[in-house]
Amino acid sequence: MTDRPLTKNIDLSRGALSLKEYVAAGGYAGARAIANGLEPSDVLERVKNSGLKGRGGAGFPTGLKWSFVPKSDDVSIQRYLVVNADEMEPGTFKDRMLMEGDPHLLIEGMIIAAYTIQATRAFIFLRGEYFDAERSIAKAIAEARDSGYLGRDIFGTGFDFDIVLHTSAGRYICGEETALLNALEGKRANPRAKPPFPQVSGLWGKPTIVNNVETLCNLPGILAYGVEWYQSLGSGGDFGTKLFGVSGRVNTPGCWELPFGVSIREVIEGYGGGMQEGYALKAFLPGGGSTDFLTPEHLDTPLTYAAIGELGSRLATGTMILLDDKTCPVGMIGNLMKFFAHESCGFCTPCRDGLPWVDTIFRDLEYGKGSFKDIDVLKDHVGYLGPGRTFCALAPGATAPLGSGLRLFADEFAAHVSGAKCPYH
């Protein structure tokens, strides 16, 4: 038993555990539970009961997602498991740690997920810049294959399973699961219309489950130690642990595995060591670049999907980006808008044309060429690019820091116009 099921084997000062070392540390026990007679329906039941929610940002219940794969005993119908390892959300650096630090945990999680949905083949969609993770995972896959943990009849279950490691070439939209599937098929990575959902018609039209790296890394613990243990970790309606991170002007920025329900203050002031001398916390994005700003008055909120949701933001990736009092909020939001404008796939008009317009206005504000009318145009875009107005969630994600920032930092926006320059320069 452990209270850090995701990171207990991770020590970044040395390399990742080899398969032998991972097994010696109790690894592949979850996969062996399958070999000892767990049926796919048993695993699905356990994962549903565990309350595991997807860790990629949306927080959708994993067991429920899996249950949408059409049930069939016919294993000749190809199903796919796809790992979303395209970590590119600004300010997010959690999956990197898992992949570099303990690749066998991911592979074990994949075996469990694939067995449950009876997918004989999986693809890991890894962002192209993660060379260290690529090496670490490739080595682990080779070890697992050599030991018969991957390939034909794994663990004597009669189930065949193998993994292909696909490295991408840098495009944020590939993190959107249907865009990711198009990219894997060798197409331009525009998102697809939903429905049909990938669970029914995904990769090459086959039933496909796309799960985030951290989500899959939760599975070995759930099978090895049980649902009760899993639920004893975490509080506030969310179960298990989560990787929470802090970046910005704190004394010890980093990423830590903590139980759900820990307070924001504990993460920022405790683990993050508090703000650096001479800097005060002004606001923060709680879960990456696509979340609404929160402020110091929210510091005692527990980190759960529901509690952060009630504040009008999202827990999302759990990696917080801190804005300090010496950094221009308009500049910070402008930086995010430049990112979103650059990474728009260009397929739908509001996103393709709206985000560059927003980006241009932020540049004007920065150089003292902005007008009050520009600020109104920005406010209009919060609506025009919001949920339901675009083909996928990229532009609505951009409106989260934009809309909340326009409200919170109205004075700073106005000062950029009235002073005809950035007051922080």
Partner 1 sequence: MQQHVIASSSTNARLRARDLTAEEIAEIEHELTLYPTKQAVGLEALKIVQRHQGWVSDESMLAIADYLSVPVSELEGVATFFNLIYRRPVGDKVILFCDSVSCWIMGCDKVKKRLSEHLGIDYGETSAGGEYTLIPVPCLGDCDKAPVMMVGEKMHRNLSCESIDSLLPLSNAEGSK
Is residue 201 at the binding interface for partner 1, with CB under 8 A as the rule?
no
Rounded to an integer, what distance in angstroms lies between the CA atom of residue 217 and that of residue 2? 14
**Smallest gap, in angstroms, from Cβ of residue 215 to partner 1?**
17
Residue 197 or 279 having the CB closest to partner 1: 279
Distance CA 122, CA 198 (A): 14
Q: Which two tokens stand for residue 56?
A: 């990629």
Asked if 336 is part of the footprint of partner 1 (rule: CB under 8 A), the reply reads: yes
In the complex with partner 1, which residue's Cβ is closer, 30 or 288?
Answer: 288
Out of 84, 247, 344, 399, which residue is the one contacting partner 1 (CB under 8 A)?
Answer: 247
399 near partner 1, rule: CB under 8 A: no
CA dist 399 and 300 (Å) reads 25
Give 258's strand partners: 242
**Binder of partner 1 out of 183, 219, 258, 408 (CB under 8 A):** 183
Task: Pick from 52, 209, 322, 402 the residue near partner 1 by CB under 8 A.
Answer: 322
Stretch that binds partner 1, among 28-36, 107-115, 220-228, 324-332 (CB under 8 A): 324-332
- Closest CB 130 distance from partner 1, rounded Å: 7
Residue 92, interface with partner 1 (CB under 8 A)? yes
CA distance 412 to 394: 26
**Does residue 186 belong to the site contacting partner 1 (CB under 8 A)?**
yes
CB 327 → partner 1: shortest distance, Å? Answer: 5
Q: Smallest distance, Å, CB 205 to partner 1?
A: 11
Which residues in 26-65 contact partner 1 (CB under 8 A)? none
User: From the CB of 3, what's the least distance to partner 1, in Å?
Assistant: 22
For position 324 contacting partner 1 by CB under 8 A, the verdict is yes
Does residue number 172 form part of the binding site for partner 1 (CB under 8 A)?
yes
Residues in 279-318 at the binding interface with partner 1, rule: CB under 8 A: 289
- Judged by CB under 8 A, the residue of 147, 327, 360, 421 near partner 1 is 327
Closest contact distance (angstroms) between CB of 335 and partner 1 is 5
Nearest distance from C-beta of residue 132 to partner 1, angstroms: 8
Q: What distance in Å separates the CA atoms of residue 230 and residue 247, rounded to the nearest whole number?
A: 28
Residue 330 near partner 1 by CB under 8 A: no
Site stretch for partner 1 (CB under 8 A), options 8-16, 42-50, 111-119, 329-337: 329-337
The first and second tokens of residue 144, run together, are 């697992």
Picking from 258, 261, 255, the residue whose alpha carbon sits closest to that of residue 321 is 255
Contact between 245 and partner 1 by CB under 8 A: the answer reads yes
Q: How far is the CB of 320 from partner 1 (least distance, A)?
A: 10
Q: How far is the CB of 29 from partner 1 (least distance, A)?
A: 30
* Selected binder of partner 1 within 253, 261, 274, 296 (CB under 8 A): 253
Whichever of 42 and 325 has its CB closer to partner 1, that residue is: 325
- Which residue, 61 or 273, is less far from partner 1 as judged by CB? 273
Which residues form the interface with partner 1 (CB under 8 A)?
87-93, 95-96, 127-132, 164, 166-172, 183-189, 204, 245-249, 253-255, 289, 319, 321-324, 327, 331-332, 335-336, 339, 342-343, 345
